[in-house]
Amino acid sequence: MSLGINTLDSMISGRSVYRRDYRKRDGRDLFLYGYAPHELPALAEDDFEVAKGGELRWHPLRGEWNVYAAHRQNRTFKPSAAEDPLAPSKPGGAPTEIPFTDFELAVFENKFTSLHAQAPSEAANPLFERARAAGRCDVIVYGPEGTGNLHSIGQAQRRLLVAAWIDRYQALYTAGHKFVFPFENRGDEVGVTLHHPHGQIYAFPFVPRVQQDAAKAFAGGYDLEKALTQIGPDYGIADTGSVMAFCPPFARFPYEVWLAPKIRRPGPWAFNEDEMDGFAHLIGDMTRRYDEFFGRETAYMLSLHAAPLGEEGTFHFTAQFYPLLRGPGRVKYLASVEQSTGAFTVDVMPESAAKILRAL
């Protein structure tokens, strides 16, 4: 069911950005973003009963909530190209998640969601504290093609992706979610089960511990804006004038890279036009540098760290790449020390990683 076409506030190089709102047959939202209004007719859809999320359980020794969602064991696992659920649907073919013959960029509610607005209330348990896994999990599909990456899709498509991220940030924070977290998992070593270029967005009913700690650091006076002026030639990789890519001196992963606006911004929704262009360019540029250096499709985790709800006054946005390789042909395994203590053993000095990546 189509719910209408909206023109977003975003303008990209003078071009309007449109969003079509569509309600899938199973009740999930589908948003289609593009430089032209999406008006194609919908094709047939599958019947599917969507699980309403899992539950939250409190870890008393780590002081954090974790999400339990047993139904995710049955999620789609490495389908063939012919069975790609993120591809456009074909007339007479098997339905996909996007029931249209074409689209530019799509966002839809995850079929195998961990968090859901209608998550059930859990009965009290004397052994542990539990809570509703309220929230939302979206999938964001970068384009209709089944292959590609953040570099190969091109700057115009990356700018459209940034516009979609901003639109979802604004909608999900307005809805009252405590922390909104766009991310991308790439490569078999990270556990990716769908290779169509895509990412995800989690909207949490709480602020995870990592982001709580970051918010406290910024509120306590850590000045990333000042630090960026002191990065100098040792840690910087690329600089668009308004956004910088660099290896943080305190990186935990070999070849870890952060992107940050030079002026403190709480999130991409506060970017000016130059910052949007620079950020979009650098997420593609870093993907290119990684693949060139490692000589293959680099397995990485990319996460966008924007201000949790209410922390906009001091938080400084970063996008963080964590490669799962420590050198060409060598996987970085997170083994006993890292998993058990949180203290990472880093095999490559950040200044050496920056020098290598900068030279590409």
pLDDT (tens digit, 9 = 90+) per residue, 205-215?
999 999 999 99
Torsion from C-alpha of 177, 105, 85, 72, nearest 10 degrees: -10
Indicate the average pLDDT of the chain. Answer: 94
Is the dihedral angle over the CA atoms 230, 232, 238, 240 positive or is it negative?
positive
pLDDT tens for each residue of 298-325 = 999 999 999 999 999 999 999 999 999 9
Helix axes 155-174, 273-294, angle to 10 degrees: 120
Confidence at 47, pLDDT banded by 50, 70, 90: confident
Q: What average pLDDT does the segment 21-25 reach? A: 96
Quick check: 1 and 22 in contact, CB under 8 A? Answer: yes
What whole-number distance in Å separates Cα of residue 228 and Cα of residue 242?
11
User: What percent of the chain clears pLDDT 70, i.e. is strictly above it?
Assistant: 98
Confidence at 49, pLDDT banded by 50, 70, 90: confident
DSSP 88: B
Angle at alpha carbon of residue 13, lines to 7 and 14, rounded to 5° = 55
Domains of the chain with CATH codes? 2-206 (3.30.428.10), 211-358 (3.30.428.10)
Spell 132-150 as b/e; 16+ CB within 10 A means b.
bbbbbbbbbbbbbeeeebb
**Which of 46-60, 147-161, 172-186, 307-321 has the weakest average pLDDT?**
46-60
> Distance between the two ends of the chain, CA-based, in angstroms?
48
> Do strands 130-132 and 55-59 pair parallel, antiparallel, or not at all (unpaired)?
antiparallel
pLDDT at residue 7, rounded to an integer: 84
Quick check: 144 and 103 in contact, CB under 8 A? Answer: yes
What whole-number distance in Å separates Cα of residue 53 and Cα of residue 71?
8
What phi, psi does 206 have (nearest 5°)? -145, 165
Is residue 3 over pLDDT 80? no
Is the dihedral angle over the CA atoms 217, 218, 221, 222 positive or is it negative?
positive
Which residues, in sequence order, are CB contacts of 213 under 8 Å at separation 6+? Answer: none
Question: Active-site residue numbers?
Answer: 198
Helix axes 273-294, 350-358, angle to 10 degrees: 100
Q: What average pLDDT does the segment 151-180 reach? A: 98
Which residues, in sequence order, are CB contacts of 171 under 8 Å at separation 6+? Answer: none
What whole-number distance in Å separates Cα of residue 139 and Cα of residue 151?
19
